[in-house]
Amino acid sequence: MKKLPRLLAILLCFPLLGNLFMAEDERPQREERMASTAGFSVIVEMQNGSYCYDPEEVLPFMMASMLADQKGEELCRAAAVICRTNLVYKWQQENRPGQLILEDTGMACRDEITDHMQQAAADTVGIVLTYEGEVIPAPFFYMSSGKTRDTGLPFLKSVDCSDNLYDKEYLLQYHYRKKDFYARIKEISGWKFCNSLQDMELERDDSGYVKVIHCTGEEMILTADALCQVMELRSPDFDWEEQENLIMIRTRGIGHGIGFDVCYGARLDAQGMEYRQILEYFYKDIMLDKRYNACE
């Protein structure tokens, strides 16, 4: 498989799992757990110890974090396959026999899990996304700015999601005091001569997302991801303008724009697509491969 682009590799390093929020006696200890039919168990490292789960037990918590307020049976099935694929991919990449170790990150709790999520995990048990026989990384995000991004990988091409433009959450504006804004820019970029937006140029990809920012007279570049993290912007598709003593930034969409668009996936579900069709819309030329069965 082609080497992962740096941005995608970074995205896949983010935690996959949310807080399981189980009572102490509900959490199976590592030594009490039987081997999973998946070939590995998920070890969740917490402050009060390590807890062992079958990958299928973990999926609903991951799905709750991924889907937020979006619903739909076929969307849930697609999400189950995506989350399972990422678990298997991460386990294979770490190459640790029989186990995948994750840190508990507090992303989702038991109360956020629905019956649809649990049923979706059961309906798709063992199914993962593959390309040319290999399990793929399956990034996802909440809402694109109209298109997903092309990563250079054959299964992660840009696709149209233009109906997102009509979503009430599509646009968001941020305002910063000029003094604070330029101080932050200089701090994270190392630039010395950045005192106006006219000094900076936004370089975009083919889908309209900002990749990097150039500054006149400076050799170093600033990545859009670094800016989004420091300024707490919810999307790297943005524009900006000066307004008297303020800098206004307007973002489009929610998330990094690579892979599965949850909001558009919900639209495809509402249009009658089955989960396999929804997955094939976002991940090109993939196969849905059943790698294991449910635990007995």
Please state whether beta strands 99-103 and 41-46 pair in parallel, antiparallel, or not at all (unpaired): parallel
Q: What is the DSSP string of 57-114?
A: HHHHHHHHHHHTT---HHHHHHHHHHHHHHHHHHHHHHT-TTEEEEE------GGG--
Per-domain boundaries in the chain: 6-142+259-290, 171-252
Q: Is 191 exposed, middle or buried (0-12, 13-18, 19+ CB in 10 A)?
A: buried
Give the pLDDT of residue 109. Answer: 65
Give the pLDDT of residue 73. Answer: 96
Give the pLDDT of residue 121. Answer: 95
Exposure b/e, 71-108, CB count within 10 A at least 16 = b: ebebbbbbbbbbbbbbbbbbbeeeeeeebbebebeebb
Q: Please tell me the pTM assigned to this model.
A: 0.87
- One pLDDT digit (tens) per residue for the chain, 296 residues: 544 554 444 354 444 433 333 344 444 444 444 456 788 999 888 778 888 889 999 899 899 999 988 989 999 999 999 999 999 999 999 988 889 988 765 445 667 888 999 999 999 999 999 999 999 999 999 999 999 999 999 999 999 999 999 999 999 999 999 999 999 999 999 999 888 999 999 999 999 999 999 999 999 999 999 999 999 999 999 999 999 899 999 999 999 999 999 999 999 999 999 999 999 999 999 999 998 886 55
Give the pLDDT of residue 26. Answer: 46
